[in-house]
């Protein structure tokens, strides 16, 4: 397992996109947050996301700057439908079929969140205050993956459908659709997909949607009328940030349950690391910041993490909101300047406030937000949405926790500073009720929990697991017979459903306490379990397991605290304490090697860059460690760098950045006295925004043309600045690796 670069500063508690220098690095969160929809009310921003079968449901985050976010609400504590499937009873479940693809709006002095529940139709939740209480309106109707617009004439429209896009008017009291109003506004054959987000800007209707056939793209359709006709263009495609699709779980046909069972012969599907597939940045909303700049918040698949959110600058071109920067539209940098910290290339002339599918005034916003919302900045100006670690000393669970389906509230409690879960009958983890979960956090993390076992009974299995298909866990059970239970002996088991393999050891727990650990390397789709009997010395149990993403739960990996009884009876209980999450990659303060002399290796070829005396940037054999392969990284502030060759020359972009346009200039003191002697054009031509891809992988974004430094691995051409971005496998020649010259 590779390790992230570790700095000497105190490590932040959790990943934050804020780099503390006026820039941010995607993803906004390194944990799952799918189907994002963004809303602005005054100077406050709200992000709503899918929660599927987990409760509390429909998560809402709050921000002041679009980069740092805090959880402020869920729309409901539990599904209020009576069917067994919502509560994981009698082998009925709603994995991946709960509530998803929300649309958040503000109008008429209140917040609205629209979403769909499979088999129940359109749902709406309303509240005067974003923190609730929320009122549930079951609107029914076959409307899903929708966008909602509160129009100027007071009418409310829902946009929905895949391929054939429809518009349906909604009743103002949210009791349901207006009968007979459904009309096709974009017919099949226009390459438009689903995941709609509707806006009205300067009197024009803009529909943002996503298509997956034959691969992922995000489109904008615009019209002067809500009913059309619409013209459509792609606004972003192929932006993967160098991440390819994860392997998809395959469940054999004829399996009794669609989630499989212990003994199911699961397979991992093939992975084409070069293909964009449907995992690139797609589906989400757009918003105008209060400085006039425009931004997209789209989701992207990050391997076994699942789908999470990326913040992407936008440029208006000929009346179209394009993702990206002038000179490189359709792609977006992984690292860019935070709103209000850098002049945007182009903003839309619409004065603020602007209509975003909702109707509000600044006065209304002030009333709604009269009480401050949770929002803060941690180390380096960063703020994570959740506190992931929990000692369970509070009266309520922290917002990061969600139950797997509706829990039985009589059979769990917070007591004596511990979480107690009663064991209920279940043959395996995926059917175990009252399983408490939280999203895993990447790119790498180590999760540990203390398990107290003295309340366990015969047949109980209790521990730490991964809710996924297939699932896995490490847990404790009592030995099979009473005669084997002397001396506080327990059986510790590591179970991997993928292989139906169990590794067991006998452990002595005189105090009835054991530490269980999950070591996750989620960027590389693998994890391993470990345990300790003293909380200091840990031993691994079982192999390094492959992880997958799949369309059954429609979620990435999830940590699970569980207790169930495999003998079909009500069991005892397990107690959990001191759940901790360590993130070795959270501190990225040392990831840019300011002031260091480095070699720049092209990841596609393994060949280092060389500053030819002829005046070009080229590559050379891997063993060449001469002076001309050494570059000093000069700090130009806000994550910007210049590259100085060991012979004193600086890298500079000439012309249009074509092959051979990456050459050199000499300036002994470009920042003498703290001020540049370079012209603005020369500064841009010799300055690059460092794109941190972790583990010494990086890219260099030119401020001159907003494209990337790279060299073709096949043509033999010298380095250029004409790469739009990385390919999914990071081998098109634009992703680089740095190594320090000692």
Q: Looking at the DSSP assignment, which residues form a beta bridge with residue 640?
A: 689
Q: How many CB atoms lie within 10 A of CB 217?
A: 23
Tell me how far apart the alpha carbons of residues 725 and 312 are, in angstroms, rounded to a whole number: 14
Q: Torsion-angle region of residue 128: left (phi > 0), alpha (psi -120 to 50) or beta? A: alpha
In the chain, pLDDT over 70 holds for what percent of residues?
A: 90
- Mean local confidence (pLDDT), 706-729: 98
On average, the pLDDT of the chain sits at 92
Query: Do the beta carbons of residue 652 and residue 634 sit within 8 Å?
Result: no
Q: How many helices (H) and strands (E) does the chain have?
A: 2, 53
Per-residue pLDDT tens digits for 252-275: 999 999 999 999 999 999 999 999
Instruction: Report the length, in residues, of the chain.
Output: 742
Tokens of 349: 């002339």
Burial class (CB in 10 A: 0-12, 13-18, 19+), 337: buried
pLDDT of residue 353 exceeding 70: no
pLDDT over threshold 90, residue 374: no
pLDDT given for residue 376 in this prediction: 47
Output b/e per residue, 406-445; b: 16+ Cβ within 10 A.
Answer: bbeeebbeeeeebbbbbbbbbebbbbbbbbbbbbbbbbbb
> What is the structure's pLDDT at 484?
56
451, 573 in Cβ contact below 8 A? no
pLDDT digits (tens, 9 = 90+) for 185-206: 999 999 999 999 999 999 999 9
CA torsion, points 259, 260, 261, 263, in degrees to nearest 10?
A: -150
At 237 the pLDDT is 96
Alpha-carbon radius of gyration of the chain = 27
- Whose tokens are 């980069």? That residue is 67
pLDDT band at 479 (very low <50, low <70, confident <90, very high): confident
> DSSP secondary-structure letter at 373?
P
What is the rounded distance in angstroms from the CA atom of residue 218 to the CA atom of residue 329?
Answer: 13
Question: Rounded to an integer, what distance in angstroms lies between the CA atom of residue 107 and that of residue 126?
Answer: 10
Supply angle C-alpha 24, 26, 30, rounded to 5: 120
Q: Which residue has the higher pLDDT, 290 or 489?
A: 290
pLDDT at 382: 79
Domains of the chain plus CATH, in order, are 34-150+168-184+283-376 (2.115.10.20), 402-582 (2.60.120.200), 597-740 (2.80.10.50)
d(CA 562, CA 465): 7
DSSP states of 154-201 as a string? S-EEEEE-SSSEEEEEE-TTSSSBPTT--EEEE-TTS---EEEEEEEE
What would the mean pLDDT of 577-605 be, rounded to a whole number? Answer: 97
Using pLDDT thresholds of 50, 70 and 90, give the confidence band for residue 354: very low
Mean pLDDT, residues 327-355 taken together: 69
Query: Averaged over 143-166, what is the pLDDT?
Result: 97
Instruction: Output the pLDDT for position 13.
Output: 77
- 56-75 CB burial, b ≥16 within 10 A, e <16: bbbbbbbbbbbbbbbbbbbb
Please give the Cα distance from 103 to 206 (Å, whole number).
15
Specify which residues 657 forms β-bridges with.
Answer: none
What is the CB neighbour count within 10 angstroms for residue 537?
9
For residues 220-247, average pLDDT? 96
For residue 666, the model assigns a pLDDT of 87
d(C-alpha 719, C-alpha 654), whole Å? 12
β-strands 44-49, 57-63 pairing: antiparallel
Q: Are strands 708-710 and 135-140 parallel, antiparallel or unpaired?
A: unpaired
Q: Where residue 375 falls among pLDDT bands split at 50, 70, 90?
A: low
Q: How far apart are CA 206 and CA 24, in angstroms?
A: 27
Residue 247, CA distances (Å) to 266, 395, 543 in order: 12, 40, 19
CA–CA dist 379, 174 (Å, integer): 43
Query: How many CB atoms are located within 10 Å of the residue 2 CB?
Result: 11
pLDDT at 678: 73
Kindly report, residue by residue over 98-149, the tens digit of the pLDDT: 999 999 999 999 999 999 999 999 999 999 999 999 999 999 999 999 999 9
| DSSP-derived secondary structure for 288-328 | E-TTS-EEEEEEEE-GGG-EEEEEEEEEEETTEEEEEETTE
Task: Find the mean pLDDT for residues 139-165.
Answer: 97
């Amino acid at each position: 397992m590779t390790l992230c670069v570790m700095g000497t500063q105190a490590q932040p508690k959790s990943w934050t996109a804020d780099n503390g220098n006026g820039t941010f690095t995607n993803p906004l969160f390194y944990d799952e947050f799918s189907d994002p929809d963004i809303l602005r009310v005054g100077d406050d921003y709200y992000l709503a996301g899918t929660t599927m079968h987990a409760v509390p449901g429909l998560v809402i985050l709050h921000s002041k700057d679009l980069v740092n976010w805090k959880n402020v609400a869920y729309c409901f504590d539990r599904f209020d439908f009576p069917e067994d499937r919502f509560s994981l009873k009698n082998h009925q479940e709603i994995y991946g079929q709960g509530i998803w693809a929300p649309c958040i709006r503000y109008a008429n002095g209140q917040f609205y969140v629209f979403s769909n529940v499979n088999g129940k139709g359109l749902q709406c939740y309303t509240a005067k205050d974003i923190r609730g209480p929320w009122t549930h309106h079951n609107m029914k109707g076959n409307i899903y993956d929708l966008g909602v617009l509160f129009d100027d004439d007071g009418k409310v429209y829902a946009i929905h459908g895949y391929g054939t896009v429809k518009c349906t008017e909604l009743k103002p009291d949210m009791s349901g659709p207006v009968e007979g109003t459904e009309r096709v506004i974009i017919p099949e054959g226009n390459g438009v997909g689903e995941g709609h987000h509707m806006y009205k800007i300067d009197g024009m209707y803009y529909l943002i949607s996503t298509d997956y056939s034959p691969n992922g793209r995000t489109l904008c359709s615009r019209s002067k009328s809500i009913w059309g006709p619409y013209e459509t263009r792609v606004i972003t495609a192929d932006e993967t940030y160098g991440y390819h699709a994860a392997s998809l779980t395959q469940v054999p046909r004829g399996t009794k349950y669609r989630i499989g069972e212990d003994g199911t012969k699961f397979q991992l599907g093939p992975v084409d690391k070069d293909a964009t597939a449907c995992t690139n940045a797609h589906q989400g909303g757009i918003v105008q910041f209060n400085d006039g700049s425009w931004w997209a918040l789209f989701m992207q698949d990050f391997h076994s993490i699942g789908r999470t959110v990326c913040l992407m600058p936008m440029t208006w071109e000929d009346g179209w909101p394009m993702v990206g920067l002038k000179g490189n539209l359709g792609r977006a940098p992984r690292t860019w300047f935070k709103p209000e910290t850098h002049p945007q290339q182009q903003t839309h002339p619409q004065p603020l406030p602007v209509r975003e599918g909702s109707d509000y005034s600044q006065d209304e916003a002030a009333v709604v937000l009269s009480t401050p919302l949770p929002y803060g900045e941690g180390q380096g100006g960063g703020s994570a949405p959740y506190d992931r670690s929990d000692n369970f000393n509070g009266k309520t669970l922290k917002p990061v926790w969600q139950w797997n389906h509706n829990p039985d509230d009589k059979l769990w409690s917070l007591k004596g500073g511990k979480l107690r879960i009663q064991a209920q009958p279940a043959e395996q983890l995926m059917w175990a009720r009252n399983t408490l979960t939280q999203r895993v956090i990447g790119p790498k993390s180590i999760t540990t929990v203390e398990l107290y076992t003295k309340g366990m009974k015969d047949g109980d299995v209790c521990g730490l697991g991964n809710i996924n298909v297939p699932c896995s866990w490490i847990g404790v059970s009592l030995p099979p017979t009473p005669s084997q239970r002397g001396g506080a002996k327990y059986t510790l088991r590591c179970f991997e459903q993928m292989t139906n393999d169990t590794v067991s050891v006998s452990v002595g727990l005189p105090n009835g306490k054991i530490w269980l650990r999950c070591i996750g390397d989620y960027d590389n789709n693998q994890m391993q379990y470990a345990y300790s009997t003293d909380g200091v010395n840990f031993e691994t149990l079982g192999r390094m397991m492959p992880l997958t993403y799949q369309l059954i739960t429609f979620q990435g990996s999830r940590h699970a605290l569980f207790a169930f009884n495999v003998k079909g009876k009500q069991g005892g209980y397990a107690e959990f304490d001191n759940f901790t999450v360590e993130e070795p990659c959270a501190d990225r303060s040392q990831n840019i090697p300011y002031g260091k002399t480095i070699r720049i290796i092209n990841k596609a070829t393994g060949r280092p860059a060389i500053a030819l005396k002829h005046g070009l940037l080229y590559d050379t054999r891997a063993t060449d460690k001469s002076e001309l392969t050494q570059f000093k990284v000069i700090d130009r502030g806000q994550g910007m760098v210049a590259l100085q060759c060991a012979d004193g020359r600086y890298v500079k972009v000439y012309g249009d950045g074509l092959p051979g346009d990456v050459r050199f200039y000499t300036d002994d003191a470009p920042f003498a006295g703290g001020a540049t002697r370079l012209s603005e054009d020369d500064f841009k031509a010799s300055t690059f925004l460092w794109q941190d891809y972790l583990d010494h992988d990086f890219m260099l974004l030119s401020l001159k043309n907003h494209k990337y430094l790279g060299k073709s691995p096949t043509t033999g051409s010298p380095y250029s600045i004409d790469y739009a971005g990385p390919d999914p496998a990071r081998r098109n020649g634009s992703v680089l690796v740095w190594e320090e010259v000692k």
